[in-house]
C-alpha cells in the first residue's frame, strides 16, 4: 500500500530519486527494462544533455526529444539584423495567395521606393520651390504582371496644389495622365480633392517587365503625402520568400505524391492490368478499357494457329480471341484455362493426332450440355467460350465434338 509522506526529507546521495530519469548515454537509456517503463516517462541523457520522453508506446523507437536545448543560443537584436536567419526564412518562400486584401499586394517600403531627392513626404519639403517626383521601382521579377494599380494620396492643403503628373512605365509601353484639381478639370482621371484621394487604373493593356510608377507634382509648397501604393496581381502569381513575384505554375509547387499532368508523363503511362478483350468502345470507358477493346477487336479479326504437343496453360493475354489451338501429340494432354480469362474470350481447339485433350478451368468451371470435358478423338474440333468472369472465376462453355 502507499506510504504517505508527512514532511520533506533529504537525499543521502547526489542522485535522483528515480535512477532511470538520468542515464549516461543513449545506450544506457535504451537499456532501461521494459517493466520499468511507462508512456510519457522522461529520461535525461548526460552525454548529449537532451531530455527524451516515451510517446505512443514504451519501445526504444518511441523515445522522442522532449525539448531542444538552447534553440536560439545567444542571438539578440531584431530579426531583420540577423541576416543568416532572414536568408533562411526567405528561402522558405511562403506563398501569399492572390485575393488577399481584396487581391492587392502593397509595394510601398524603403526597399521599393526610389525618390528625388528623398523619401516623399509633403511635410518635409514645405517651402521647396522645385518639383519633386516619386518613382516606384525595384528588382521585380520579369514575369510579374500586375493587372491594376491603386494609389492613395492624402492632401492637407489644396490651395497650393495645381496638378500631379502620373506615369506608369513598362517595357515598350506606358500610361500617362494629369491628376488635377477640380478647377483644372480631371483630364480623364478623377479630380483631386482635399483629404484622401484614391486612383485605380487598369494595367492589362501594358506589357510589364520591370514596372515603374512615377508621380511628378507640379506645385511650389508641398502639403500632401502619398500614403499607400498597391498593385493587384492575378490568380496565377505568388509572392515568394525572396520578395519577388513569380508566375504560379506546377513547376514551383511541391508535388509530393500527386504528380501533375504533363504530356511526357501521359506518354510514359504503363498499361497496368492490360488484357485483350473485344468490345464496343463507350464514352464511359477509361483509356485503358478502350485500348483493351480495340486490341481485342483487332485480334478477333486475325486468327492465330498455335500448335502444342503436350499439356499447356491457355493464357488469353497471348492467345487472342478467335485463335486456333492445334494439339498434335500422341499421348493424352491437358489444356488449362487461366482464372484471369475475360468474358467474351474464345478459341478453337483441334485434335490433330491420337492424344486426347482434357480441359480444366483454374478458379472457375467448365460447362457442356452433355457433360463433356475433352475432345472426342482425332480430327475432333471444339470451341471454348468464356461466358462470364466474376473476379477470378471464369465460366467456360465447351461445345463441338467432345467426349
How far apart are the C-alpha atoms of 227 and 337, rounded to whole Å? Answer: 82
- Same domain as 342, residue 226: no
Regarding predicted confidence, which is higher, 203 or 28?
28
Which of 47, 65, 83 is at the close of a domain?
65
- Same domain as 383, residue 310: yes
- Same domain as 140, residue 246: yes
Whether omega before 117 lies within 30 degrees of 0, making that bond cis, reads yes
- Same domain as 327, residue 217: no
Which of 6, 40, 65 is at the close of a domain?
65
In this prediction, residue 387 has a pLDDT band, given cuts at 50, 70 and 90, of very high
How far apart are the C-alpha atoms of 192 and 203, rounded to whole Å? Answer: 21
Greatest extent of the chain over all pairs of C-alpha atoms, in Å: 121
The predicted structure's pLDDT at residue 146:
66
Q: Which of 39-53, 223-237, 370-384 has the highest mean pLDDT?
A: 370-384
- Total tally of structural domains belonging to the chain: 3
In this prediction, residue 300 has a pLDDT band, given cuts at 50, 70 and 90, of low
User: pTM higher than 0.75, yes or no?
Assistant: no
Does residue 275 sit within a domain?
no
Residues, the chain, total?
A: 403
Does residue 291 sit within a domain?
no
Does residue 11 sit within a domain?
no
- Same domain as 230, residue 139: yes
- Same domain as 316, residue 241: no
pLDDT digits (tens, 9 = 90+) for 90-109: 554 444 443 344 455 544 33
- Same domain as 316, residue 245: no
Does residue 342 sit within a domain?
yes
The predicted structure's pLDDT at residue 197:
83
Task: Give residue 369's region: left, alpha or beta (phi > 0; psi -120 to 50).
Answer: alpha
Does residue 44 sit within a domain?
yes
Compute how many other C-beta atoms are within 10 angstroms of the C-beta atom of residue 34. 8
- Same domain as 158, residue 55: no
Burial of 166 (0-12, 13-18, 19+ CB in 10 A): buried
Does residue 183 sit within a domain?
no
Does residue 95 sit within a domain?
no
Shortest CA distance to 215 belongs to which of 157, 161, 171? 161
- Same domain as 375, residue 307: yes
pLDDT digits (tens, 9 = 90+) for 217-274: 665 445 566 666 666 655 555 656 555 556 666 665 666 677 777 788 888 888 888 8
- Same domain as 246, residue 326: no
- Which residues span the domain enclosing 59? 17-65
- Same domain as 254, residue 309: no
In this prediction, residue 88 has a pLDDT band, given cuts at 50, 70 and 90, of low
**79 three-state secondary structure:** helix
Query: Rounded mean pLDDT of the chain?
Result: 74
pLDDT at 199 over 60: yes
- Same domain as 248, residue 165: yes
Amino acid at each position: 500500500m502507499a506510504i504517505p509522506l508527512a514532511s520533506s526529507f533529504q537525499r543521502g546521495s547526489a542522485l535522483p530519486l528515480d535512477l532511470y530519469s538520468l542515464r549516461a548515454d543513449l545506450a544506457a537509456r535504451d537499456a532501461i527494462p521494459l517493466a520499468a517503463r511507462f508512456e510519457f516517462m522522461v529520461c535525461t541523457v548526460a552525454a548529449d544533455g537532451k531530455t527524451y520522453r516515451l510517446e505512443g508506446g514504451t519501445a526504444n523507437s518511441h523515445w522522442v526529444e522532449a525539448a531542444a536545448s538552447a534553440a536560439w543560443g545567444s542571438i539578440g537584436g531584431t530579426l531583420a539584423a540577423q541576416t543568416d536567419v532572414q536568408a533562411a526564412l526567405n528561402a522558405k518562400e511562403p506563398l501569399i495567395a492572390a485575393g488577399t486584401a481584396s487581391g492587392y499586394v502593397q509595394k510601398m517600403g524603403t526597399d521599393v521606393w526610389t525618390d528625388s531627392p528623398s523619401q516623399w513626404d509633403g511635410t518635409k519639403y514645405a517651402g521647396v520651390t522645385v518639383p519633386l517626383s516619386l518613382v516606384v521601382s525595384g528588382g521585380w521579377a520579369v514575369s510579374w504582371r500586375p493587372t491594376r494599380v491603386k494609389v492613395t494620396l492624402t492632401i492637407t492643403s489644396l490651395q497650393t496644389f495645381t496638378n500631379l503628373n502620373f506615369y506608369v512605365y513598362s517595357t515598350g509601353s506606358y500610361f500617362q495622365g494629369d491628376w488635377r484639381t477640380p478647377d483644372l478639370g480631371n483630364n480623364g482621371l478623377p479630380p483631386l480633392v482635399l483629404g484622401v484621394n484614391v486612383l485605380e487604373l487598369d494595367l492589362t493593356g501594358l506589357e510589364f517587365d520591370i514596372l515603374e510608377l512615377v508621380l511628378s507634382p507640379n506645385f511650389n509648397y508641398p502639403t500632401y503625402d502619398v500614403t499607400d501604393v498597391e498593385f493587384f496581381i492575378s490568380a496565377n502569381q505568388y509572392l515568394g520568400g525572396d520578395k519577388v513575384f513569380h508566375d504560379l505554375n506546377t513547376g514551383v509547387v511541391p508535388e509530393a505524391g500527386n504528380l501533375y499532368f504533363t504530356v511526357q508523363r501521359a506518354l510514359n503511362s504503363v498499361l497496368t492490368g492490360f488484357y485483350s478483350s473485344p468490345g464496343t468502345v463507350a464514352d464511359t470507358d477509361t483509356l485503358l478499357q478502350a485500348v483493351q477493346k480495340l486490341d481485342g477487336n483487332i485480334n478477333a479479326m486475325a486468327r492465330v494457329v498455335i500448335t502444342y504437343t503436350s499439356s499447356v496453360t491457355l493464357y488469353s493475354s497471348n492467345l487472342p480471341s478467335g485463335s486456333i489451338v492445334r494439339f498434335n501429340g500422341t499421348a493424352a494432354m491437358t489444356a488449362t484455362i487461366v482464372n484471369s480469362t475475360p468474358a467474351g474470350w474464345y478459341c478453337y481447339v483441334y485434335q490433330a493426332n491420337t492424344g486426347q485433350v482434357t480441359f480444366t478451368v483454374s478458379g472457375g468451371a467448365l460447362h457442356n450440355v452433355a457433360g463433356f470435358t475433352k475432345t472426342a478423338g482425332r480430327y475432333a474440333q471444339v470451341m471454348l467460350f468464356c461466358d462470364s468472369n466474376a473476379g477470378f472465376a471464369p465460366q467456360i462453355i465447351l461445345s463441338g465434338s467432345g467426349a
